[in-house]
Amino acid sequence: MSDSLSEDDNEAGAKRATDSLPARFVRIPSIAERKLGRDYTAPIRLDPRVLDQMQKTIKTLAATYKETLVGQIASLLPLIEAGSADAGEARSRLYSIAHDVRGLAGTFGLAIVGNFARSLCGYMEKHTDLDSMIIRFHIEAMRDAVTDPAPDSNLADETLRSLERLIDAADIDARSFG
């Protein structure tokens, strides 16, 4: 069964879903066609000049992002030194910043920093008991990568592998003594 968007505009979605078993297929008009009306002639194509403009915008933002990132990374080390009373909050804050870095750094040409943040987030997502040494090593790796004007990607890859080995070793310890 198939119908068009205009057929029953005001029906409740949930009701539609449960009343129309087993499955109802709805054709959706193209947004380009709908917005352009009679001016619509063909699907819109990627315009290299527009893409270039978008990439320039990212480059402009990258300059200020690096300053933000340096500040974010600097705020991480004090969090692992926080007392046990606010450990939960510190952990949450630490993860939130690392998650932010994981999502943003690569866009601004700082993929190495982003990869360290990804490793740290992965560690924090999979473990309840955290080893502050592993977290510290990740933070230091991020700090060094962001402050190095020309980071060595081979060295960064090796550092990342070392961090992953540390995490694996912690997993083995947890299984042995946990």
Instruction: Give me the 21-60 binding string for other proteins, x by CB under 8 A, dash otherwise.
Output: xxxxxxxxxxxx--xx--x-x-xxxxx--xx-xxxxxx-x
From 73, 90, 112, 114, residue interacting with other proteins (rule: CB under 8 A)? 114
Q: Which of 63, 65, 112, 160 binds other proteins (CB under 8 A)?
A: 65
Cα–Cα dist 145/2, whole Å = 55
Question: CB of 94: closest distance to other proteins in angstroms?
Answer: 15
- In the region spanning residues 135 to 154, those forming contacts with other proteins, defined by CB under 8 A, are none
Cα(118)–Cα(45) distance, integer angstroms? 34
Phi, psi of 25 (to 5 degrees): -105, 135
Q: Please, which of residues 8-27 interact with other proteins by CB under 8 A?
A: 8-14, 16-18, 20-27
State which residue, 108 or 137, has the beta carbon closest to other proteins. 108
Quote the CA–CA distance of 64 and 122 in Å, as a whole number: 27
Shortest approach of other proteins to residue 141 CB, angstroms?
Answer: 18
165 binds other proteins (CB under 8 A): no
Reduce the secondary structure of 63-131 to three states and give it as a string: HHHHHHHHHHHHCCHHHHCCCHHHHHHHHHHHHHHHHHHHHHHHHHCCHHHHHHHHHHHHHHHHCCCCC
- Local structure of 3: helix, strand or coil: strand
Residues engaged in binding other proteins (CB under 8 A):
2, 5, 8-14, 16-18, 20-32, 35-36, 39, 41, 43-47, 50-51, 53-58, 60-61, 65, 68, 99-100, 102-107, 111, 114, 118, 121
